Amino acid sequence: MTQTSVTVYVVSDSAGDTGELAVRAAAAQFHPLSVQIRRAAFIHSPEGIDAVLAAAEEDLGMVLYTLVIPSLRDHIVAEAARRGVTAIDLLGTLIGRLEERFGRESRHQPGLNHVLDADYFRKVEAVEFAVKYDDARDVTGIHKADIVLIGVSRTSKTPLSMVLAHKTFKVANVPLVPELVPPKELFTVSPFKVVGLTINTEALNAIRKERLKALGLPDTASYATSERIERELRHAREVMDKIGCMVIDVSNKAVEETASLIMERFQR
């Protein structure tokens, strides 16, 4: 069965960062098709696994798991097969091969890659920041952020914020809409830390049409018309020019590629 939108449940007996990053990297290869990620972190019981698999079965989703506890891996394999849910083991095969080479069992201890050092806590803080200040929910985040992303809808502001957050950057993002006056904070913050995201009309038109289809809406809605998109892009460019910020064309770029360009500017 082909789908225009797929939900992937990331199941982990730790934080789930590794699995989510793997899914995002894979999803970038299918842009502009939609991959929704649902993270189920710190799963330590068969019941927790069962709940995730039930949700995945209901919405025809997939499961990617990074479970290091053997009993949980065995359970998810058996239960996923029983339910007919696709379940992908990200770490199990590698751990098994390493056990063969070393001639000893692994420690089977979740979370060892998250040593509780200063860098780890910065990452957690950055992720929480990105969630709190997503989509201009609170414009006070503009002055608090390391990086401020601006652009029209569907220019990957939110996923880009999360990728940068995993690199410990605190990111706020602000949508630019012709009918709304941009927050005054955009014009009082340093232009250096503002990054404008633009895209060509054809690419954005295709992305928005796919988004509407995924939501079960007709792709003829004004949101996806060329006239509407061109108006939004003109408005966004006027705002970016007024700020004097860096501008990146994301038309044919994966989120990770755009993130790399931004990080080059903000090297620590």
CA count, 13 A, side-chain hemisphere, 246: 17
Banded model confidence at residue 18, pLDDT cuts 50, 70, 90: confident
Banded model confidence at residue 86, pLDDT cuts 50, 70, 90: very high
pTM of the predicted protein model? 0.62
Among the residue ranges 7-16, 54-63, 212-221, the one predicted with the least confidence is: 212-221
Side chain identity, residue 161: S
Which residues, in sequence order, are bridge partners of residue 63?
A: 9, 87
- For tokens 């929704």, name the residue: 36
As a whole number of angstroms, the distance between CA 211 and CA 217 comes to 9
Percent of the residues in the chain that have a pLDDT greater than 70, as a whole number: 95
Which residues, in sequence order, are bridge partners of residue 35?
A: 6
3-state secondary structure (DSSP) of residue 234? helix
More confident: 268 or 210? 210
Banded model confidence at residue 252, pLDDT cuts 50, 70, 90: confident
Q: Is the pLDDT of residue 176 over 80?
A: yes
Per-residue pLDDT, 130: 94
pLDDT mean over 101-107: 84
Locate 41 and state its tokens: 């972190």
Phi and psi of 185, rounded to 5°? -60, -25
More confident: 247 or 220? 247
Per-residue pLDDT, 156: 93
As a whole number of angstroms, the distance between CA 233 and CA 79 comes to 48
Question: What DSSP designation does 60 have?
Answer: T
As a whole number of angstroms, the distance between CA 44 and CA 86 comes to 20
pLDDT mean over 70-97: 91
| Residues 110-143 pLDDT 10s | 666 655 556 777 888 999 999 999 999 999 999 9
